[in-house]
Amino acid sequence: MKIVIDDKIPYIRGAFENIAEVLYLPGKQTTPEVVKDADALVTRTRTICNEKLLAGSTVKFIATATVGFDHIDTEYCAAKGIQWENAPGCNSKSVVQYIASTLMVLAERKQISLKDLTMGVIGVGNVGSKIARLGNLLGMKVLLNDPPRERAEGSAAFVSLKQIIEQSDIISLHVPLNMKGEDATFHLADELFFSTLNRKPILINSCRGEIVKTNAVKDAIKAGQIAAFVCDCWENEPNIDLELLALTELATPHIAGYSKDGKALGTQMSVQAMSKFFHLGFDNWQPIGVELPKNPVIEINGTRLNEHEIMAKAILATYDIRQDDAVFRNNTALFEQLRGDYPTRREFPAYTIKAKNISIETLEKLKEIGFSIDYSQENKE
């Protein structure tokens, strides 16, 4: 048995060596010649799994350690009997941390109160549903748009895209990339989208670059149709539009879902899927060696701090998007390297809040966001 694995997938080395020939390669070196005699691939979004790569190969199974699977030609795989699995939801909490940090930074920069704002969430799946919950915890009014879910569940919890456009102060995108069909999302944010915005909202794209039309968003920023653009996902990655980069409020190299927790879970789901498909006997495999945060205890004295300030201290202590923004702007030619060598970022559950003089209500919100709480010090309302 031969398995070809993207060498940037963490914690996977050693999982298959006892039962297979394992070849670790950069995604761009995963060629038709390499996979010709392979039984399986474990990959990321940079490897396009289509007829060009797979024709004439012995590949039976593809596991992608990512949520997105638009790099897999699913129709071709179905026609050739090649099974595949993605890792839905593996990075959802990482994206929540990314959006939480973004909101804290924007509130500071723009001198705005999040509790006074309405956030529209477009796409309410594994990630979007958690973003909506975050918005509620931060006191925002949250509007949900998800046509497939609305058709399946009814309209009670959802609003139209028109309502999102008309009523939102912040719009956060969390849809898959669908090129065609009733739920096509390619260039969802196009000239018409921007021309009909009502409140000059902040737009955040942390799903897929092709959801936002590059020229349209550049024109929208220049025309003042949006208050700011936060971009993690770009059209034509890694060859991004540098003019758009210069126009963004915050810019990162497609790392919103790149916490160590999210990567470890994506690897776990891929290995387990492979085990189940080939009946390898380690269906409960889990990664080891996930790095701990440098400072896992966050001490916060809430004296003279309001709830938002306490939340901001906690969230930004785990991840400050401004650091990634600065590194990216200084190294735009290193898009892939910045992703591949992304430093350790752990999610909220890896941290404990050592709290003093913080209300129980605020502590409970921090707990709901994901933090562990140390109640050992006296807390006062």
Q: Where are the domains of the chain?
A: 2-86+259-278, 92-251, 297-374
pLDDT digit string (tens) for 45-88?
889 999 999 999 999 999 999 988 989 999 999 999 999 999 99
Q: Looking at the chain, which runs of residues are DSSP E strands? A: 2-6, 21-25, 40-43, 61-64, 83-85, 118-122, 141-145, 170-173, 202-205, 228-231, 250-251, 297-301, 352-356, 372-374
Give me the catalytic one of 237, 299, 309, 336. 237
Q: Which residues contact 166 (CB under 8 A, 6 or more apart)?
A: 196, 198, 199
pLDDT given for residue 380 in this prediction = 44
Give me the catalytic one of 44, 46, 174, 208. 208
pLDDT digit string (tens) for 321-359?
999 999 999 999 999 999 988 999 999 999 999 999 999
pLDDT surpasses 90 at 376: no
pTM, two decimal places: 0.88
Closest CA to 97 of 363, 296, 346: 346
pLDDT digit string (tens) for 288-320?
988 989 899 999 999 999 999 999 999 999 999
Which pair of tokens denotes residue 33? 């010649």
Position 147, amino acid? P
pLDDT given for residue 377 in this prediction = 62
CA angle 137, 138, 143 (to 5 degrees): 80
Annotated catalytic, 364? no
Q: Do domains 2-86+259-278 and 92-251 have the same CATH topology?
A: yes
Q: Using a pLDDT cut of 70, give the percent of the chain over it.
A: 99
Give me the catalytic one of 46, 254, 339, 346. 254
pLDDT given for residue 20 in this prediction = 95
The CATH class that applies to domain 2-86+259-278 reads: alpha beta
Q: Which residues contact 136 (CB under 8 A, 6 or more apart)?
A: 142
pLDDT surpasses 60 at 281: yes
Q: Does domain 297-374 have CATH number 1.10.760.10?
A: no
pLDDT surpasses 50 at 90: yes
CATH of 92-251, one of 3.40.190.10, 3.40.50.1370, 3.40.50.720, 3.40.1440.10: 3.40.50.720
